[in-house]
Amino acid sequence: MADITAELVRTLRDKTNAGMMDCKKALTETNGDIEAAETLLRKKGILKAGSKADRQTKEGVIHALVNGTAGVLIEVNCETDFVAKNDNFKAFVTALSDKLASGAESGSAEVDEYVKSKIAEMGENIVLRRVEKYAAADGLLASYIHLGGRVGVLLQATAPDTDAARAVLKDVAMHIAASNPRFLSRDQVSADFIAREREIAAEQVKDKPANIVDKIVSGKIDKILAENCLLEQSFIKNPDINVKDHVKSGGDITVQRFVRYAVGEEA
């Protein structure tokens, strides 16, 4: 039997936002396995899929840059909130984004030296944590920064180069920032994700009459997919329609992919 330490319990609590006693009990039942304990808590209905409470507490800034057909989204971490809000640091992140959008690569000598020089200047450790680059020679890119750089989105679509299409894609990027979809559409959902959700749903309704369990589970899975697939989510500016309907309003647009970063989240 694993030793269920207070630190282990706190780790699970920080990840799930469940109560300390619930966390300890789940860890005891799963012999200290954090992932299994999280799944157990979900089966018991103590937390929901995709809980926003699973964020780590790191400081930093998310920045997006779209320059014609090139786009980049980056997360740069630092040690303190004071530095994250510093105009000098923000200017550095913007300049770093420009370097990356112009062809510099994360991990290259050029980028590493640029980061090191800022560390020496500011006296605080700085890390380029992650980078996503998009190129859209025959389409459009859109970006959105939310909560003063705590959340950012980069989006690519095939679309006509019109004001209407650009406005719609900006709306969709804003929606992604606020609603945090996990997938673009159902055809991108992995079989493993569905199998895990089905197992959890079945456990939650195991005491229901056997002849209606499959129907209830299927309904739960359908709801989870609708909540996690971008095109099926209720559009944040008009909940009477879904995102797919709003996309159609901008003309012949097909959203191809997106990425969303939040400061300190588990990558």
One-letter amino acid identity for 179?
S
Question: Domains in the chain: how many in total?
Answer: 3
- DSSP three-state, residue 40: helix
Which two tokens mark 105?
């690569």
Mean pLDDT of the region 49-73: 73
- What are residue 152's phi and psi, to 5 degrees? -145, 155
Same domain, 118 and 238: yes
* Window from 25-39, 50-64, 92-106, 211-225 with minimum mean pLDDT: 50-64
- DSSP three-state, residue 60: strand
Same domain, 209 and 105: no
pLDDT tens-digit map of 105-163: 998 999 999 999 999 898 888 999 999 999 988 889 999 999 999 999 999 999 999 99
Same domain, 92 and 171: yes
Q: What is the mean pLDDT of the chain?
A: 90
Same domain, 37 and 146: no
Question: What one-character-per-residue DSSP string does 81-133 give?
Answer: HHHHT-HHHHHHHHHHHHHHHTT--TTSHHHHHHHHHHHHHHTS-EEEEEEEE
* CATH number where 97 lies: 3.30.479.20
Question: What one-character-per-residue DSSP string does 71-86 give?
Answer: EEEEEEEES-HHHHT-
Residue 167 lies in a domain: yes
Same domain, 253 and 215: no
Q: What is the DSSP letter of 53?
A: G
Residue 1 lies in a domain: no
Which two tokens mark 70?
């090139």
CA–CA distance, 209 with 213 (Å, rounded to integer): 6
Residue 43 lies in a domain: yes
Residue 247 lies in a domain: yes
Same domain, 135 and 43: no
Residue 119 lies in a domain: yes
Same domain, 247 and 128: yes
* CATH number where 41 lies: 1.10.8.10
pTM across the whole model:
0.77
* Confidence bin at 242 (pLDDT 50/70/90): very high
Cα angle value 146/148/151 (rounded, 5°)? 40
Q: Which domain, by its residues, includes 153?
A: 59-184+234-262
- What are residue 265's phi and psi, to 5 degrees? -70, 160
Same domain, 171 and 75: yes
Residue 96 lies in a domain: yes
CA–CA distance, 169 with 127 (Å, rounded to integer): 30
Residue 38 lies in a domain: yes
pLDDT for residue 256: 97
pLDDT tens-digit map of 172-199: 999 999 999 999 999 999 999 999 999 9
Which two tokens mark 109?
């000598």
Same domain, 89 and 148: yes
